[in-house]
Chains A and B, each alone.
Chain A
Amino acid sequence: MKKKHGAKLPLYAFKKLEKLVSDNGSSDHEERGEPPVAFLDSLLLGEWEDRVQRGLFRYDVTACETKVIPGRYGFIAQLNEGRHLKKRPTEFRVDKVLQPFDESKFNFTKVGQEEVLFQFEASEDGDVQFFPSAPIDVENSPSVVAINVSPIEYGHVLLIPRILDCLPQRIDRESFLLALHMAAEADNPFFRLGYNSLGAFATINHLHFQAYYLAVPFPIEKAPTKKITTLDGDVKISELLNYPVRGLVFEGGNNVEHLSNAVSDACICLQDNNIPYNVLIADSGKRIFLVPQCYAEKQALGEVSAELLDTQVNPAVWEISGHMVLKRKKDYEEASEENAWRLLAVVSLSEERFQEVNALIFEAIASGVDVSQNTTKEQEAEAKPQTDEEVDAIKNASRPTMVSGTQECPV
């Protein structure tokens, strides 16, 4: 989406939520009545189907075979033989979770305006508002929802916070809260948002969340959990049990911001410590899964078996959640819970390292410092146009550099 004056797009302004579940149990939508536009069923899906009929996608994802793999967890397999051939290549180092924005690389300011579905922002007057055609306020850098032209399921979109600010892939409190509001606005447990950090299979270093609609439960959502702690503001943090990847679950919170800040502070801690991670926002924003991972490092160290590498499955947020997009017919036909488990087990931190990482996270959250203020400034500084030299330096370093074999796995 280029900076073009006079351009227009639909604008959906959401009501800032206090609570995800009100005290008498009803969801916010029930309390405030119907919004003027059904966010998911009419706006998002309508605009998406419109792009289907205009032929903007690289393939019809509903023509890709998919199934639930029999077993206790119900892993989901999809056969998608063409996707990886048509995807844009990853254009940055995979061993650094935070890297400056590089405008010479592919980013979302370069996508055609027809790929952008609508603007998404907080309402100013406190009520949901919809404008079918609103000017794009270039000065205020709108947050937008755009299609993923290589969808992994129906309705696959990208939420790009403040697109024209060219933020690198890096969580900050404000952007995460925006993503959480999108999940709440969709008001459907089968419409989930996901986030991949650099080093955890993000492929574009331009801040974005992904989302799509698949009406089956994800295995990670079925995993039992063990409560670790309750933070101030009643945010409950649990640990996943009996799941191939170790991870944390954030729930509850006296208000949305408590929950959102707890998760984003944990993410900020991970990225500041160069630990790659994935986030799944599930259950309309009521449950958030945070999974640190070390697959890329293991891959660089030659610790991933040839058998797994051959599948060419990159364990990003959706795979970790149990939705496996397979590239070879053989893998699809032979897909089993055991195979899925084996792949995901490689993604996981060791128990020892996971506990270390948890200690870092809890220290960061407990300190209660509002880290967002600092990081936002830093981030803005980084996002500013770089000198030519800097751009060159990044370009030169941009071949996927792996950590050398003698180095310790940083995760």
Chain B
Amino acid sequence: MESHLGLIEDSFNESYSLWAREALDELPDNFTITDPCISGHPIVFASGGFLKMTGYSRSEVVGKNGRIFQGPATCRRSVMEVREAVREERAVQITLLNYRKDGTPFWMLFHMCPVFSKEDGRVVNFVAVQVPISRKLRRFRSGFVGGHVGEDCNDVNEVVFGSCRREVCSDSLLELGRVLALDSDVRELEIEEPCEASDVEKRRAASAINNVLSVLTHYSESTGRLVCGKRCSLSGVGHLSSSLTISLGRIKQSFVLIDLHLPDMPIVYANDAFLKLTGYTRNEVLGRNYRFLNGEDTDSLTSNHIEESIRMEQACTVRILNYRKDKSSFWNFLHISPVRNASGKIAYLVGVHMEEGCANQGGRGHGLSPEMRQLGTVGAVKIAVRSSSMAAGPSKP
């Protein structure tokens, strides 16, 4: 867990300079920043406003996936829409019922957008702004359509809990409970469209997004890893989509993905478990040939056997002597398998690594055999690659 939090710290610090957190903290808005490249797509930054709104402390939120704020009455279809926006690397604006730490629900306008690396067009972060939906504006909306709403803006501090379908305002949690209980009794026909946000709220969300983006852009200048709100280029060699990296990030077993069609077959993805096993950082691994763990005492026959299997487009399992970054060696129980994309062609190789003797690590003693865990990883990678290469581009129902 600690190493996971370490990765999260690094994720943020590598992209943005030291003062970024401070500058972000000065923004009044409620927002979170997530990193799709880390396993579980965790939150790496949460603003003060956001913490205040949800009742969580920063340490309770950072490292967690945004789904911890969902609850029993959160619309599952809306959750799916957010998930799809992440997979398709696009912005989304949607009303959502979330839950505070104390279990009370609240309606808010959720506006999320990707942050791209200027260098290679990769998605490095997602920014998600949450604007609580207020009663006055909603009434306003139903009363006047297209009227002036700006003047009321300052007045809108009062957040209404519970359902938007009933224009309710509660002063106490007790009353809130009653209102919710009442609400679940409503049996009339109604479109399951959660409350719509007003134009003011929509504008507020959009401007908050712009604020965050401009801070991130500014504070990424000094690290040289410039980010921007629009994808500028997609030149990255072996570039993987967010949908693929998120799917791959779910997989716990140590593995790398190798692009068969690039010169010298470089590693294009390495997961956290692989970095932990070998002691390298991600940047030291990406772009290297898969043989880079071999060393002077590595048996060349074994190494040839792997080459031969790759050429024959077959899976193979070997026991091979490999070396970590610190030069210490270990017996690697290595499984390599071809992986096809959605057109049915072999696109990648997956290499699943397991240190001999530690084969039960992560299996908590009484789990599956190491072979089965390796094969499971192969399966999960096959699905991730096949599914993420099917897409026809952004689609909205």
Contact = CB atoms under 8 A, between A and B. Distances in A.
**Interface size of B as a range:** 35 or more
Interface string B110-148: 000000000000000000000000000000000000000
B192 interface: yes
A25 B71 contact: yes
A387 interface: no
A74 B71 contact: no
A219 B392 CA distance: 14
B71 A21 contact: yes
B72 A42 contact: no
Interface in A127-152: 130, 132
B92 interface: no
Given A46-B368, A46-B379, A234-B184, A63 B103 contact: no
Nearest to B187: A229
Contacts of B190: 226-227
A398 interface: no
Given A62-B344, A68-B391, A36 B364 contact: yes
Interface stretch (A210-218, A270-278, A367-375): A210-218
B263 interface: no
Nearest to B71: A25
A43 B80 contact: no
A113 interface: no
A154 B386 contact: yes
Contacts of A286: 76
B69 interface: yes
A17 to B, nearest CB: 13
Interface in A184-240: 188-190, 213-217, 219, 221-230, 234, 238
Contacts of B98: 25
Nearest to B73: A252
Contacts of B39: none
A41 B74 contact: no
- The interface centre, meaning the residue of B193, B367, B379 with most chain A CB atoms within 10 A of its CB, is B379
B72 A252 contact: yes
B376 A45 contact: yes
B36 to A, nearest CB: 14
Interface of A: 19, 21, 23-27, 30, 34, 36-38, 41-50, 53, 60, 62-74, 76, 130, 132, 154-155, 188-190, 213-217, 219, 221-230, 234, 238, 241, 251-252, 283, 286-287
30 contacts: A24-B103, A25-B68, A26-B68, A34-B364, A36-B366, A41-B376, A42-B372, A42-B376, A45-B375, A45-B376, A46-B372, A49-B375, A49-B376, A49-B378, A50-B372, A62-B382, A62-B386, A65-B343, A67-B342, A67-B390, A67-B392, A76-B390, A155-B379, A188-B250, A214-B387, A216-B391, A221-B80, A225-B77, A227-B192, A283-B76
Given A25-B67, A71-B395, 14 more contacts: A23-B72, A25-B98, A43-B368, A45-B378, A46-B374, A46-B376, A47-B372, A64-B344, A70-B392, A73-B397, A74-B395, A154-B379, A215-B387, A251-B76
